[in-house]
């Protein structure tokens, strides 16, 4: 007799490289999430330094310019009527230029980006209900194919209002697919490979950020063509989902469908070229076959099992903090160069470095210790950033910038580990809800994070201390959580509570 985890271990341990290749195809959808997410950075770029005069008024303003640097800048441009007194010399068309979202109208471009994250929050709320009722695969596929279709439609957007509505729908599909992909892949990965797969997803994210998105924008200079091509690339990547079955853990623990789970394992074994015998597999649900089939049934577990409730509350706080720090403090990379493509290439390299560090750290010292150490190192970097130190005779690099690099790397490493940890520690019949709820509250952190720069105008020292306190508080709370390295993920809230009781953990 064997559990699903043991069957997955045997299939993936003795299967051929075809299984790893197919899993990589599945993870390409994670890489392609970068395309709709960062499309405004390329398709909506405003080339404030790439223009030339076509009227005498413009020529007079340029000739009389007495400020620092070139007169072809945003300040001079916005004193005129862009498109009338000037023409753009940027070799790429963007929707911001096409619809005049420059100078005083730039806030509309920012609104377009914000609406995407509003849609993302809606998608995660939908997923928190549907992942544990309709299934991981169905929801993820709906999100991914919806994104591909919506990007193709966006390419022919007749006006800004249509474009804004499309960005909301893109946000819904993106985050529905993103959360579903992570839950699904980790449920189909044996414990031995989870650290590597989680870090590999982070590496693919870095490749998407540093290579795929900038490369496509460089190849296609028209924003509409770029959007359509990105939709086509996403469609090809999403098609790999058609090869894979539903998660057998979901089928057993959420639906009580033992036979369906066995069929899913058979299909998975064929994909991996590994062995599978239904007679050797014990697929009895840990909740005695009841299967949490409704959303309200799932909510009752958070009332009946205090340990599950406490762990969720701690993780919600940590996800808000990590998102706030990631988007609020991660400004170091953009200060290292003015070239848009090189800046994102550098940011992608940073993500890949963080993912590789996470792989090593997660499998060597454990998930819990990695989260504690990275939160503490991030907190320390924020405090060190207070020091008024500058390097070089030309003040090329400040301590604040250097600590931005250190802090952003630690935060990226921590966030990648938290994705893995949250999904490993969440019981199977609540994994969809807990993963989506954590991502939903992270959206609040991502909304507030970019506004944190305004706090520096008030008191820079106090702001860095505040950032540090957030990081240290999250690191200290992690001591209350269990380690997941080398352990089988719980299948029910009852198992979570039983483990805490056996270890003598007191529920507050």
Which residue has 């998407």 as its token pair? 208
Any alpha helices (H) in 104-159, and if so which ranges?
106-130, 136-154
Residue 114, pLDDT score: 77
pLDDT tens by residue, 218-236: 899 899 999 999 999 999 9
For the segment 481-495, the average pLDDT, to the nearest whole number, is 84
Instruction: Please name the residues in contact with 166: beta carbons below 8 A apart, sequence gap of 6 or more.
Output: 150, 153, 154, 157
Q: Which long-range contacts (CB under 8 A, 24 or more apart) does 222-225 make?
A: 222/92, 222/93, 223/42, 223/43, 223/44, 223/92, 223/93, 223/94, 223/95, 223/98, 224/93, 224/155, 224/156, 225/155
pLDDT at 334: 43
Residue-level pLDDT at 185: 84
Looking at residues 18-34, what average pLDDT do you find? 80
> Hey, how many other C-beta atoms are within 10 angstroms of the C-beta on 156?
11
Q: Is the pTM value of this prediction over 0.85? A: no
288-307 in b/e form (b: 16+ CB < 10 A) is: eeebbeeeeebeebbeebeb
Query: Would you say residue 146 has pLDDT above 90?
Result: yes
Mean pLDDT, the chain, rounded, equals 82
Let me know: does 185 contact 27? Beta carbons within 8 Å: yes
User: Chain centroid to CA 390: how far?
Assistant: 33
Q: What is the mean pLDDT of residues 333-352?
A: 64
pLDDT of res. 2: 64
Q: What is the pLDDT of residue 283?
A: 60
Please state the three-class secondary structure of 144-195 as a single string.
Answer: HHHHHHHHHHHCCCCCHHHHHHHHHHHHHHHHHHHHHHHHHHHHCCCHHHHH
Q: What is the 3-state secondary structure (H, E, C) of 470-499?
A: HHHHHHHHHCCCCCCCCCCCCCCHHHHHHH
pLDDT at 396 over 60: no
Give the number of C-alpha atoms closer than 13 A to the C-alpha of residue 58, restricted to the C-beta side: 17
- Which residue is associated with the tokens 């899913």? 264
pLDDT of residue 388: 72
Confidence of residue 335 (pLDDT cuts 50, 70, 90): very low
Q: Which residues contact 272 (CB under 8 A, 6 or more apart)?
A: 11, 12, 15, 16, 18, 19, 22
Question: What pLDDT is recorded for position 473?
Answer: 94
Confidence at residue 290, expressed as pLDDT on a 0 to 100 scale? 45
Beta carbons of 375 and 414 less than 8 angstroms apart: yes
Read off the pLDDT of residues 185-221 as tens digits, 9 standing for 90 and up: 888 887 777 788 888 888 888 888 888 988 999 899 8
User: Residue 164, class by beta-carbon neighbours within 10 Å (0-12 exposed, 13-18 middle, 19+ buried)?
Assistant: middle
Tokens, residue 296: 């309200």
Please enumerate in sequence order all residues whose Cβ is within 8 A of that of 205, keeping only pairs 6 or more positions apart, or say none: 30, 31, 33, 34, 351, 355
For the segment 100-127, the average pLDDT, to the nearest whole number, is 84
Report residue 454's pLDDT band, with 50, 70 and 90 as the boundaries: low
pLDDT above 70 as % of the chain: 84
3-state secondary structure of 391: strand
């Amino acid at each position: 007799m064997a559990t699903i985890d043991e069957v997955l271990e045997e299939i993936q341990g003795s299967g051929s490289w075809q299984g790893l290749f197919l899993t990589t195809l599945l993870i390409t959808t994670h890489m392609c999430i970068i395309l709709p997410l960062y499309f405004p950075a390329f398709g909506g770029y405003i080339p404030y330094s790439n223009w030339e005069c076509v009227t005498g008024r413009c020529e007079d303003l340029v000739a009389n310019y007495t400020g620092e640097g070139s007169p072809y800048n945003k300040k001079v441009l916005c004193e005129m009527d862009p498109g009338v007194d000037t023409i753009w010399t940027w070799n790429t068309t963007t929707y911001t230029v096409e619809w005049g979202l420059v100078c005083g109208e730039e806030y509309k471009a920012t609104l377009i980006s914000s609406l995407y994250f509003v849609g993302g929050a809606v998608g995660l709320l939908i997923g928190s209900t549907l992942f544990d009722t309709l299934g991981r695969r169905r929801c993820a596929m709906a999100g991914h194919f919806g994104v591909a279709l919506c990007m193709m439609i966006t390419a022919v957007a007749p006006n800004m209002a249509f474009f804004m509505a499309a960005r909301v729908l893109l946000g819904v599909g993106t985050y529905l697919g993103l959360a579903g992909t992570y839950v699904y892949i980790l449920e189909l990965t044996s414990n031995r490979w989870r650290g590597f797969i989680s870090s590999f997803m982070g590496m693919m994210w870095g490749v998407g950020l540093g290579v795929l998105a900038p490369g496509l924008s460089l190849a296609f200079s028209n924003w509409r063509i770029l959007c359509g091509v990105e939709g086509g690339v996403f469609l090809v990547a999403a098609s790999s989902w058609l090869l894979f079955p539903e998660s057998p853990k979901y089928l057993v623990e959420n639906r009580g469908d033992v036979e369906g789970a066995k069929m899913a394992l058979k299909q998975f074994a064929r994909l991996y070229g590994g062995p599978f015998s239904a007679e050797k597999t014990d697929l009895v649900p840990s909740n005695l076959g009841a299967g949490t089939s409704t959303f309200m049934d799932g909510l009752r577990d958070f009332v009946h099992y205090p340990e599950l409730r406490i762990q969720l509350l701690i993780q919600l706080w940590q996800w808000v903090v990590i998102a706030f720090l990631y988007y609020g403090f991660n400004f170091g990379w953009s200060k290292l160069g003015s070239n848009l493509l090189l800046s994102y290439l550098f940011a992608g390299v940073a993500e890949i470095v963080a993912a590789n560090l996470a792989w090593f750290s997660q499998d060597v010292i454990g998930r819990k210790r990695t989260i504690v150490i990275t939160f503490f190192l991030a907190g320390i970097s924020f405090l060190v950033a207070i020091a008024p130190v500058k390097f070089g005779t030309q003040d090329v690099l400040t301590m604040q910038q250097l600590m931005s690099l250190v802090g952003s790397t630690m935060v990226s490493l921590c966030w990648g580990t938290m994705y893995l940890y949250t999904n490993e520690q969440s019981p199977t019949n609540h994994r969809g809800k807990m993963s989506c709820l954590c991502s939903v509250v992270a959206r609040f952190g991502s909304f507030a994070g970019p506004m944190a720069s305004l706090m520096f105008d008030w008191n820079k020292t106090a702001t860095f201390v505040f950032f540090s306190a957030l990081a240290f508080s999250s690191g200290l709370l992690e001591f209350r959580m269990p380690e997941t390295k080398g352990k089988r993920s719980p299948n029910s809230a009852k198992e979570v509570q039983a483990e805490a009781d056996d270890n003598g953990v007191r529920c507050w």
